[in-house]
């Protein structure tokens, strides 16, 4: 035990704390942000468009702020300022207004009472749940003409004033009596309760109709009755979209700058031991994994009995953790020392190396696939959960998915990434990442029960933990002195600004046109093809005499001595 504590570099403890609190704060919200956008009424195409714009903004911000930080030697100041701005932006997203949604139905009352809705599109997987056993409870607010009230109140309990414009009541809807015909749905009401009255079976002395706003506590029924009347091409005319987009841009840019400059600070503090980066970054996976499962459980628990998920604690916890991160990061014993006389010239020279160009293309390919996991994996899970009638616990499942991705997938791979890269080299690590991504996506596309996704999430250690360590350590190794933040920003910009952005746009369209399973299958096949192309190109390049710092199995990272391997069981600096 004493040996373990001797191995801890106390100067790096604030860095570990930063990664933990930063990822706990961002993970509280980012994990569920795409499904939160869906709840606000945005379609998969619009969400894909938003996540196309965000990485482009990050692509501009990362190298720009990185160059400013390197030029004026203010890395830590920019690092701290954008932590606070990110906290404010995330909290603001919670108060973004939803786009207008139509929850109107047509009510008819004579010897019995029922309501119906026209021209709806019901996924075949939802029909079984829509006509299942059980009674849904719906709150109805109906326009009350004098004729409607006169007929209704002749037989039913009415405790309303004479000038009432609307009749509010709670309706009990047996789902087994649902009738679906040619795009129309008809629902029988068995009993109602008017403004706290005893429950009774309603009827009217003559046929009367009304239009009602409705909200039900049943997930399937509420989704069928809720219609987005705004076409994707028209959503840009609504202020709600622009408010949400501006807040998302502020949060994304803040994240992008903090991550790239934070990594540059970390590598500079590590000095000549960049392979130990993973030992710092694994604390980020620990924070993200723990908070994801906690927040997922809280969302389900506070949303019990409601068809709308309550995300309030996700946003509030995010603010708390990001403020804690600011406090920890402020104590970083870091002063920027390295300088570059010509930052742009040094970076431009690197881009002329063909191997580095291939590396950047690999970042783009992985970014394409990562966008699907980040933005649409939970959409696929929720679609499959609806088909299996599992909506009440879907956020808990999503939290478990994130927890396994981080705690059992990323965390050990971040810890062991230095040893793995020393053993197989950056080139083979890149091909391995693409191979596992392809297999992972194909498995998603053929498994009908989303609970079986949990074992698959172990692969996230390779597809993100190993990938991110490879990308960040490579950028640090090849960066000329004084350009560290610039290089981290540039590599991150290529990954997100090109790869994640393009992937989000394509995935949003494919998800809408072909469904979630087929979308993941297409991306999986594409990843396997990219893996084959990457391996072939690297084989051809290996036969050429290129002078480069690109790391092969025996190059690039500071060599690990035998005692370093034995110390892998301890907590590293």
* 283-341 confidence digits (pLDDT tens): 988 898 899 889 989 998 888 766 678 899 999 999 999 999 999 999 888 776 655 55
Rounded Cα distance between 522 and 506, Å, is 11
Say how far apart CA 376 and CA 382 lie, in whole Å: 10
Between 561 and 454, the more confident residue is 454
What's residue 300's pLDDT? 87
Residue 157's CB: how many other CB atoms inside 10 A?
18
Q: What is the distance between the terminal CA atoms of the chain, rounded to a whole angstrom?
A: 15
| Judgement on whether residues 83 and 154 belong to the same structural domain of the protein | no
Closest by CA to 230, choosing from 102, 123, 106, 120, is 102
Backbone angles phi, psi at 198, to 5 degrees: -60, 155
Query: Residue range 479-484: average pLDDT?
Result: 68
As a whole number of angstroms, the distance between CA 299 and CA 33 comes to 13
Q: How confident is the model at residue 20 (pLDDT cuts 50, 70, 90)?
A: very high
Q: What is the reported pLDDT for 263? A: 83
Return the bridge partners of 27, or none.
none
Same domain? 383 vs 509? yes
215 and 268 inside one domain: no
**411-446 and 277-302 are packed helices; what angle lies between their axes, rounded to 10 degrees?**
50
Question: Residue 572 pLDDT > 60, yes or no?
Answer: no
DSSP strand E in 327-401: where? Answer: none
The Cα 45–Cα 136 span in angstroms is: 31
Q: Judging by DSSP bridges, how do beta strands 113-117 and 135-143 pair with one another?
A: unpaired
- What pLDDT score does 29 carry? 93
Is 277 contained in some domain? yes
Q: What is the pLDDT of residue 567?
A: 34
Please report the sign of the dihedral spanned by the C-alpha atoms of residue 404, residue 408, residue 411, residue 416: negative
Tell me, yes or no, whether 538 and 405 share the same domain: yes
Same domain, 529 and 486: yes
Domain boundary among 191, 225, 259: 225
Q: Is the model's pLDDT at 94 over the cut of 80?
A: yes
Give yes or no for residue 548 having a pLDDT over 50: no
Among the listed residues 457, 439, 447, 440, the one whose alpha carbon sits nearest the alpha carbon of residue 399: 457
- pLDDT at res. 573: 32
Claim to verify: residue 92 and residue 116 sit in the same structural domain: no
Q: Would you say 449 and 517 are in contact if contact means Cβ atoms under 8 Å apart?
A: no
pLDDT of amino acid 347: 63
pLDDT, mean over the chain: 81
The radius of gyration computed from the CA coordinates of the chain, to the nearest angstrom, equals 27
One domain, residues 179 and 259? no
pTM: 0.70
Q: Are residue 130 and residue 239 in the same domain, yes or no?
A: no
Report whether pLDDT(45) > 60.
yes
Residue 508 lies in a domain: yes
Cα atoms in the 13 Å half-sphere on the side-chain side of 5: 2
Q: Verify that 352 and 498 share a domain, yes or no.
A: yes
pLDDT band at 121 (very low <50, low <70, confident <90, very high): low
Q: How far apart are CA 213 and CA 233, in angstroms?
A: 26
Question: Per the domain annotation, does 47 fall within a domain?
Answer: yes
**CATH number for the domain including 51?**
1.20.1250.20
In a domain, 272, yes or no: yes
Domain that holds residue 220: 104-225
**554, pLDDT greater than 50:** no
Strand pairing partners for 410?
none
| pLDDT one-digit tens code per residue, 426-460 | 788 889 999 999 999 999 999 989 999 999 999 99
Greater pLDDT, 322 or 177: 322
Q: How many domains is the chain built from?
A: 2
Note whether 199 and 216 are same-domain residues.
yes
pLDDT band at 558 (very low <50, low <70, confident <90, very high): very low
In 330-353, alpha helices (H): 343-351
* 79 and 159 fall within a common domain: no
Give a yes or no: residue 562 inside a domain.
Answer: no
Within a domain: 566? no
- The torsion angle over the Cα atoms of residues 103, 128, 375 and 455, rounded to 10 degrees, is 150
| Percentage of the chain modeled with pLDDT above 70 | 84
Q: Which residues contact 162 (CB under 8 A, 6 or more apart)?
A: none
Q: If you average pLDDT over residues 377-403, what whole number do you get?
A: 85
Whether the Cβ atoms of residue 235 and residue 46 lie closer than 8 Å to each other: yes
The answer on 74 and 187 residing in a single domain is no
What pLDDT is recorded for position 7? Answer: 59
The 3-state DSSP class for residue 184 equals strand
| Within a domain: 564 | no
- Residue 565 located in a structural domain: no
How many whole angstroms separate alpha carbon 48 and alpha carbon 377? 13
């Amino acid at each position: 035990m004493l040996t373990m504590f001797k191995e801890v570099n106390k100067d790096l403890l604030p860095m570990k704390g930063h990664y933990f609190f930063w990822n706990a704060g961002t993970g509280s919200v980012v994990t569920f942000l795409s499904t939160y956008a869906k709840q606000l009424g945005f379609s998969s195409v619009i969400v894909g468009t938003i996540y196309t714009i965000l990485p482009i903004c990050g692509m501009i911000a990362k190298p720009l702020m990185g160059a400013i930080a390197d030029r004026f030697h203010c890395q830590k100041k920019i690092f701290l300022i954008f932590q606070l701005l990110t906290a404010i932006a995330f909290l603001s997203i919670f108060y973004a207004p939803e786009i207008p949604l139509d929850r109107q139905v047509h009510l008819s009352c004579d010897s019995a009472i029922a309501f119906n809705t026209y021209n709806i599109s019901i996924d075949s997987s939802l029909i079984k749940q829509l006509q299942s056993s059980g009674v849904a409870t719906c709150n109805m607010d109906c326009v009350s003409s004098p004729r409607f009230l006169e007929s209704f109140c002749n037989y039913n309990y009415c405790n309303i004033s004479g000038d009432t414009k609307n009749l509010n009541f709670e309706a009990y809807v047996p789902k087994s009596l649902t009738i679906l015909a040619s795009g129309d749905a008809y629902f029988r009401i068995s009993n109602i309760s008017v403004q706290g009255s005893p429950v009774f079976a309603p009827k009217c002395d003559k046929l009367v109709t009304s239009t009602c706003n409705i909200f039900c506590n049943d997930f399937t029924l509420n989704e069928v009755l809720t219609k987005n009347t705004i076409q994707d091409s028209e959503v840009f005319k609504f202020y709600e979209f622009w408010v949400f987009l501006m807040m998302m841009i502020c949060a994304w840019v803040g994240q992008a700058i903090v991550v790239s400059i934070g990594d540059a600070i970390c590598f500079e503090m590590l000095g000549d031991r960049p392979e130990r980066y993973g030992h710092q970054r694994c604390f980020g996976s620990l924070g993200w994994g723990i908070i994801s499962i906690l927040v997922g459980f809280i969302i389900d628990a506070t949303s019990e009995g409601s068809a709308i998920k309550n995300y309030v604690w996700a946003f509030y916890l995010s603010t708390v953790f990001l403020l804690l991160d600011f406090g920890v990061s402020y104590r970083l014993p870091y002063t920027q020392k390295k300088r570059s006389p010509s930052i742009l010239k040094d970076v431009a020279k690197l881009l002329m190396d063909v191997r580095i160009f291939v590396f950047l293309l690999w970042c783009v390919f992985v970014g394409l696939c990562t966008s699907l996991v980040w933005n649409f994996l939970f959409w696929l899970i929720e679609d499959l959960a609806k088909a299996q009638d599992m909506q009440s616990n879907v956020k808990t499942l999503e939290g478990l998915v994130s927890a396994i991705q981080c705690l059992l997938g990323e965390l050990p791979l971040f810890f062991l990434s230095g040893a793995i890269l020393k053993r197989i080299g950056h080139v083979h690590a890149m091909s391995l990442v693409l191979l596992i991504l392809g297999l992972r996506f194909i498995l998603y596309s053929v498994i009908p029960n989303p609970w079986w996704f949990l074992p698959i999430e172990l692969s996230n250690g390779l597809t993100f933990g190993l990938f991110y360590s490879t990308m960040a350590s490579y950028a640090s190794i090849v960066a000329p002195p004084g350009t560290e933040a610039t290089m981290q920003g540039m590599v991150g910009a290529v990954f997100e600004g090109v790869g994640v952005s393009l992937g989000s746009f394509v995935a949003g369209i494919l998800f809408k046109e072909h469904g979630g399973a087929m979308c993941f299958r297409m991306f999986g096949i594409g990843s396997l093809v990219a893996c084959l192309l990457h391996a072939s190109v690297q084989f051809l390049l290996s036969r050429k005499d290129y002078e480069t710092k690109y790391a092969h199995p025996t190059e690039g990272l500071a060599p690990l001595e035998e005692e370093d391997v034995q110390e892998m069981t301890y907590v590293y600096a």
